[in-house]
Amino acid sequence: MMNLQKRPWIQVPLILAVFVLLTVPAWAEPPVKNVIMMIGDGMGINHITAARISLEDGAYSQLNIDTMPYTGFSINFSNNDLVTDSAAAATALATGFRTDNKRLATLPDGTPVKSIMLMAKERGFSTGIVATVKITDATPAAFLVQADSRSFEKTIAEDILKTETDVLLGGGLDVFGANPFTKEPRTRSLINQAIQEGYTYVFDRDGLMNLEVTPDLKLLGLFMGGDMSFEITRFNIEPTITEMTKRALEVVGQNPQGFFLMVEGSKIDRASHSNTPAEMIGDLLAFDQAVGVALDYAKTHPGTLVVVTADHETGGFGITSGDPSGDVVNYGWLSTGHTGAMVPVYAYGPGAECFTGTMQITEIPVKIGKLMGITDFPAIIEVDEVEVTN
Ligand SMILES: [Zn+2]
């Protein structure tokens, strides 16, 4: 044994070594504390182009999305189809696994898998969902539940509440058991159950905007019986996606450890299924405003990563001719369904440079997980840990 008393020269490096050991964890802290993942459902690059052209300066206009410094492409086919549906694509974005169409966070053989959002929750992050369709719809649901089919809506609603997600904002009053006229919860409804478990329930824009954000607030806001309206025909009682995003950030942003918020511009897809450009562009511009809110938040809250992407393209939309002023634009649609096109990925914040080039859709949450310090992702769920809806 070395006697340190007799060798004082060795004490300095030793003390330094101990100091380094003690301080390494601080240096090795994951770069990302907050994640705002934003999904434009069905949002292809031509949809974005059309939304940009629709603004005042025509093709010279700039969307908030256009200001994001890092961009890439996502290859999004599903396990059993070149053209993915929203369930398989959401599963890929939420869990890092490719699966068959219609499946929510389950592998083709039924094995349940865990979303990055649920893993973040387990590690003490706050979590939140904002959507403009029912919160039981495929994209939000894949982040919260595991099901063999996206159509098991009632069970999906029950399972969503079990996750104790801090913020749930969107449509879906009917399945959660509200009276369709008064929007008050029925006695034995899921909304009442949520209230008993500590959620604050709001059902209109005033309720959401006037709400006092308290430190332990858990927020359930359901604003329409089914999906919310398109932006251009939105009722005044419905909040905008931007308002929902702002409120969600106020709630989840209170957690000093950080948060994972998913915001879906859900109805870009719906409008593209019906080949109606006015609705599509209205919802895309509304989504882009919510992206602006997310970017503003990230600029004032270091450690916030914003990733904007789409699950797939819908409609095979394309601009065929026109004037750069945007006064004359001719366009066409290839389909009333989804297409197999690659979709864009945009990133801002720490680690944003990881989202460049052409990537598989499943890589997106894995990259996010690594940046958050969640390294045991993607993850299969042990069978006794969860009940799969089948
Ligand atoms: Zn669709």
Chain mean pLDDT for the chain: 93
- Alpha-carbon distance 83 to 92, whole Å? 13
Q: Where are the domains of the chain?
A: 39-157+255-385
271 CA distance to ligand 1 centroid (A)? 9
pLDDT score recorded for residue 335: 97
The pTM of the full predicted model, rounded to 2 decimals, is: 0.91
Residue 346 and residue 71 in contact, taking contact as beta carbons nearer than 8 Å: yes
Q: Measure 71 CA to ligand 1 centroid, in angstroms.
A: 23
Q: How far is the CA of 337 from the centre of ligand 1 (A)?
A: 7
pLDDT attached to residue 23: 47
Residue 82 pLDDT > 80: yes
Read off the pLDDT of residues 349-359 as tens digits, 9 standing for 90 and up. 999 999 999 99
The H-assigned helical ranges of the chain are: 8-27, 45-53, 86-95, 116-122, 138-142, 153-162, 190-196, 205-209, 241-252, 267-273, 277-300, 363-372
Is the pLDDT at 364 greater than 70? The verdict is yes
CATH of the domain spanning 39-157+255-385: 3.40.720.10
The Å distance, Cα 120 to ligand 1 centre, comes to 27
User: What is the amino acid identity at position 48?
Assistant: I
Cβ atoms 389, 155 nearer than 8 A: yes
Q: Please say if 86 is a catalytic residue.
A: yes
- Catalytic residue among 54, 61, 78, 86, which? 86
What b/e string do you get for 192-206 counting C-beta neighbours within 10 Å, with b at 16 or more? Answer: bebeeeebbbbbbbe
Which residues hold their Cβ within 5 A of ligand 1, which is an ion? 269
Give me the torsion for CA of 194, 199, 200, 202, rounded to 10°.
-50
- pLDDT tens-place string over residues 188-211: 899 999 999 999 999 999 999 999
CA of 268 from ligand 1 middle (Å) equals 9
Give me the pLDDT at residue 330, please: 98
State residue 246's pLDDT score: 98
